[in-house]
Structure 1
């Protein structure tokens, strides 16, 4: 199953992606949509706007420096080597963004970076889940980009301030269930900036695989349906170049993963978003 969340004719709904069409499903929540009861006439993909598959996750968790080559390049900008213990941070719910929507270049920094990643979405409650049973609580996988504001990240011991800017967690385009996706270990993750290949890696190269990540997280707290996990990025981020290749307004970032499709976001100046109340 390929579950999408989409907007059409002023309404937001869930549906099944079937080739170039979207078939609406019953239910207004992510949990209801997972049941997959089709309801309504198919719509052409060309007339809908795809949104993030989970509208407002309770938790958006990301693991840092989870590929050895990325850990090596990260020493220069976050002063960390290959971690023996998993290093986690969270992104804010307001960071959620659609797979093809604009990403803001912050007013407060010019050091915006990309991190193409495989994203796991939780489908069942899980606590103290052993690694070998982790897939039992995974609803499916998506493509994501963990946009990072490097100077703010470096200034925060937990990295949290550089990871949770608004619009900086696009993911999608569809949640693909494990039964359809199959073995994830050899999926190639590719990141492009303006058509230039910057990152290439596979989940088999992770320091801590998805099962180990879920076991570690659920040893501390319960994972709940709709929680989103960014599972780490390969080498090739902008901060790893000399000089760094920061993103700028007008750039386009495309992330591809085998059998999952792609997401693509334009970088735009942050609008006037001052808000009180």
Structure 2
């Protein structure tokens, strides 16, 4: 049976995605980590990782082993009083939309600072943030669009679910039967509260669900989805919002879901990094923390 030390090294390499990042987290030299991994592969009788220019890629055998032992290794570390991560140090520069950064990412980032990491968070639109990432002004971006730049690598992260919401008084002006049969006409009298004049989110919802652009009058434009929600609760109009932003107002009855499609429109968020970025243990830890948080969120 492999020793706990070898399994601990394996789990760190599996989570970090590179030998150098794992060595920093463990406090070992990279040759020491490589040697331990070689001993484990010899004992198991099969390779566990494919070495690439950007790190290591786990084999199917490594994925199966990680699923069997990761929880036990973490439990043993906790029992032995070593559950705290070592101090990482350094700086992480992360970019995301203001709403996601405030409501979702900040708790994860605040936890990272306890390990000695300085966090620089930048708020903005996806295109601008991805350009900053490609120019080495950011280390990690949570993007609402899939990057197409050759220098960037992205992985699907979590899905946003979009809901059409209205203040209760406006919702009551919509005839349910007409909404089922003629949804565009049934909703046409309702003013819109939008993130931008081009109605990017609302337009996508109308086209996905109703097959055309909304003919509704535009009442209020504000470039923050939290402010959009506030305007809706104050009776300015209706809007389409990610579920994680609208949920508190829905639960309190301040807004109502005006339309319930069979499958709510989704938008995938991506975690993007530079392909050529040097190993940074803090960035690696942050990516894993965001992945774990996304599993708890399931869908935003």
What TM-score do you get using the length of structure 2 for normalisation?
Answer: 0.22
Question: Normalized per residue, which structure has more helix?
Answer: 2
TM-score by length of 1: 0.23
More strand by share: 1
